[in-house]
């Protein structure tokens, strides 16, 4: 059992066989998505539709990266963060490897995928080709577009890496989440009780508060909201954690029952709480 009041820290462990298997699987799927991107760009007759194609492929890249990272179960943050970057880069570079074959530039296919210098040579050859044929857009705009493509895929990797996940070492499973909110007067009660507990607090007071599980739209003015997230292992129900963040709830100007939360400010992230506190909150959040 972890000590209540302390925060989660990734163990750094990983299963080398599992990591290798799913990373290689991810690379194969990344090559497939890159090939699909190449095909769509080739058959697309309207240049500006490339933005839509890029968006769709980026969405596919996000699904792939999230799935592979989850299946790898790697708690080493450096390795875990590197996997989405690798997969997104391969998706981007694979299209150039196939374009290299299509345009007969003569570079190595696998070099175009795995060697950034070869990829850059293929890109430069294509930019020179565009400039030579005097297409509607010049060489400079081509470089800007190619850079934007890579940036889009790397943003996908950054988004995947920004997702905070917790792992139960005892059960070899990821934590689940349950959310609830504190509004109006309960916000003041939260801050007052937290201050009374002092710096070494463990959120023992949370079960005393009245939570709202589902927010209702507001139409007059924005209001502050505290979101409390419970992280728990569904197998052992031990070492439960809590995260608390403050938000502002936006006005539902579209009148479509939106309850959008913005301006997130984390207060606590992944703090272990006592089992009695956790059990009481699970009953409240259920």
Among candidate residues 122, 67, 61, 63, the one with its CA nearest the CA of residue 89: 61
* Residue 155 within a domain: yes
On whether both 151 and 184 belong to a single domain, the answer is no
* Residue 2 within a domain: no
Boundary residue ending a domain (113, 135, 163)? 163
More confident residue, 163 or 176: 176
CA pair distance 254, 121, nearest whole angstrom: 49
On whether both 200 and 275 belong to a single domain, the answer is yes
On whether both 280 and 176 belong to a single domain, the answer is yes
Q: What is the pLDDT of residues 91-122, one digit of tens each?
A: 999 999 999 998 888 899 999 999 999 999 99
* Residue 5 within a domain: no
* Residue 158 within a domain: yes
* Residue 269 within a domain: yes
The CA–CA distances, whole Å, from 154 to 59, 71, 90 equal 12, 21, 11
On whether both 111 and 23 belong to a single domain, the answer is yes
The CA–CA distances, whole Å, from 284 to 141, 190, 241 equal 56, 16, 15
On whether both 81 and 203 belong to a single domain, the answer is no
Q: What is the pLDDT of residues 194-250, one digit of tens each?
A: 888 877 789 999 999 999 998 888 888 889 999 999 999 999 999 999 999 999 998
On whether both 151 and 183 belong to a single domain, the answer is no
CA pair distance 218, 215, nearest whole angstrom: 9
Residue 157 parent element (H or E): helix 139-162
pLDDT band of 50, cuts 50, 70, 90:
confident
On whether both 152 and 220 belong to a single domain, the answer is no
Helix (H, G, I), strand (E, B) or coil at 67: helix
* Residue 4 within a domain: no
Boundary residue ending a domain (147, 163, 179)? 163
Among candidate residues 28, 24, 53, the one with its CA nearest the CA of residue 41: 53
Number of domains forming the structure of the chain? 2
* β-pair partners for 225: 247
**pLDDT exceeds cutoff 90 at 184:** no
Q: Are 123 and 96 in contact (CB under 8 A)?
A: yes
At 138 the pLDDT is 59
**pLDDT exceeds cutoff 70 at 155:** yes
At 229 the pLDDT is 95
Quote the pTM value. 0.84
On whether both 174 and 151 belong to a single domain, the answer is no
Boundary residue ending a domain (130, 163, 196)? 163
Sheet holding 176-182, edge to edge: 176-182, 223-232, 241-249, 261-272
On whether both 179 and 207 belong to a single domain, the answer is yes
Q: Residue range 162-185: average pLDDT?
A: 91
On whether both 273 and 258 belong to a single domain, the answer is yes
* Residue 23 within a domain: yes
Q: For the chain, give percent helix, strand, coil, nearest 5.
A: 55, 15, 30
Burial of 149 (0-12, 13-18, 19+ CB in 10 A): buried
User: For 169-196, b where at least 16 C-beta lie within 10 A, e where not — what string?
Assistant: eeeeeebeeeebbbbeebbeebeebbee
At 14 the pLDDT is 93
**pLDDT exceeds cutoff 80 at 253:** no
On whether both 43 and 73 belong to a single domain, the answer is yes
Could you list the residue range(s) of the whole structural domain that residue 246 is in?
Answer: 168-285
CA pair distance 212, 233, nearest whole angstrom: 23
How does the average pLDDT of the chain come out, rounded?
A: 90
At 232 the pLDDT is 95
The CA–CA distances, whole Å, from 102 to 39, 42, 111, 211, 219 equal 11, 10, 15, 60, 56
Please give the share of the chain, as a percent, with pLDDT higher than 90: 68
* Residue 45 within a domain: yes
On whether both 237 and 137 belong to a single domain, the answer is no
Helix axes 16-43, 77-103, angle to 10 degrees: 30
At 219 the pLDDT is 83
At 5 the pLDDT is 92
């Amino acid at each position: 059992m972890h000590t209540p009041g302390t925060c989660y820290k990734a163990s750094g462990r990983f299963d080398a066989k599992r990591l290798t298997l799913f990373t290689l699987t991810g690379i194969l799927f990344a090559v497939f998505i890159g090939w699909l991107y190449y095909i769509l760009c080739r058959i697309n007759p309207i240049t500006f539709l490339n933005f839509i194609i890029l968006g769709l492929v980026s969405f596919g890249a996000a699904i792939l990266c999230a799935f592979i990272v989850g299946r790898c179960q790697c708690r080493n943050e450096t390795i875990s963060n590197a996997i989405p970057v690798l997969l997104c880069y391969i998706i981007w570079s694979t299209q150039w490897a196939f374009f290299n074959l299509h345009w007969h530039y003569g570079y190595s296919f696998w070099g175009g995928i795995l060697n950034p210098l070869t990829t850059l040579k293929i890109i430069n050859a294509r930019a020179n080709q565009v400039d030579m044929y005097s297409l509607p857009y010049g060489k400079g705009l081509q470089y800007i577009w190619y850079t934007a493509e890579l940036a889009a895929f790397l943003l996908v990797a950054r988004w995947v890496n920004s997702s905070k996940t917790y792992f139960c070492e005892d059960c070899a499973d990821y934590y689940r989440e349950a959310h609830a909110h504190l509004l109006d007067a309960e916000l003041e009660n939260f801050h007052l009780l937290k201050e009374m507990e002092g710096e070494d607090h463990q959120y023992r007071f949370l079960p005393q508060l009245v939570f709202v599980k589902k927010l209702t739209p507001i139409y007059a003015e924005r209001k502050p909201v505290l979101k409390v997230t419970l992280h728990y292992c569904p197998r052992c129900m031990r070492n439960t954690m809590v995260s608390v963040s403050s938000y502002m709830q936006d006005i539902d100007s579209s009148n479509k029952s939106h309850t959008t939360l913005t301006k997130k400010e984390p207060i606590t992230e992944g703090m272990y709480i006592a089992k009695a506190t956790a059990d009481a909150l699970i009953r409240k959040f259920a």
